[in-house]
Structure formats: C-alpha cells, structure tokens
Amino acid sequence: MSNLTKEQEAVALQRGIVECKAARPRLTKAQREALKAYEFAVRQEDRYLGSVFVTAHGQREYEAKTHAAYMRCKGLGMTYEHGL
C-alpha cells in the first residue's frame, strides 16, 4: 500500500478493496508493567503445572498469583485489546 496516495487509500478503503489494520491501543507505563507481571505469572504457573512436583496447595498459590496479576490489569482498564 506504500505506493498509493492518501486519496487512493481512502477510496480503496471505502470500496472494501483494502482492509484496515486495527491498531493496538497504546499502554501507559503502569499498564505495561502490569501486563509484563501478568505474562510472567502465567509463564510461572505453566512452568509449575508442567513439573512433576505439583501439589494442590502449590497449584492454588500459583493460580492466586496469576489471578491477582490479572485483576490488577483489569483494574487499570485493560481488556483483550491490550493483550490480555
């Protein structure tokens, strides 16, 4: 699409010839940190659940950590559009 002018792009979008990519919303610093913490918690939980030393108590602890990180993201107004 780089070889089209802005007017040609607008006409192509109106006619449905070219699809518009949905931009991912920008994240604030707090949202970026919360998302990073959530992704880390999910990785740790997956890693723990994949081990042979899983206990019910340990599983509840990792689920609680992941849920807390998820709720922090939700509290900052994040949704699936932000990468949750």
Task: Give the chain's domain count.
Answer: 1
Compute, in degrees rounded to 10, the torsion defined by CA atoms 28, 34, 35, 38.
180
DSSP secondary structure string for all residues of 38-56: HHHHHHHHHHHHTSS---H
Question: For residue 6, is it within any domain?
Answer: no
- What local confidence, expressed as pLDDT, does residue 40 receive? 97
Q: Which residue has the tokens 């609680």?
A: 64
Which phi-psi region, left, alpha or beta, contains residue 10 (left: φ > 0; alpha: ψ -120 to 50)?
alpha
Q: Is residue 12 part of a domain?
A: no
Is the per-residue pLDDT at 1 higher than 50? Answer: no
Averaged pLDDT, 1-29: 71
Task: Say if 66 falls within a structural domain.
Answer: yes
35 phi and psi angles, rounded to 5 deg:
-65, -40
Range of the domain at 59: 24-82
pLDDT in tens, 50-80: 999 999 999 999 999 999 999 999 999 999 8
Tell me whether residue 32 is in a domain.
yes
Span 8-30, average pLDDT: 73
- Any domain includes 9: no
Sorting pLDDT into bands at 50, 70 and 90, what band is 24?
confident
Q: What is the value of pTM for the model shown? A: 0.69
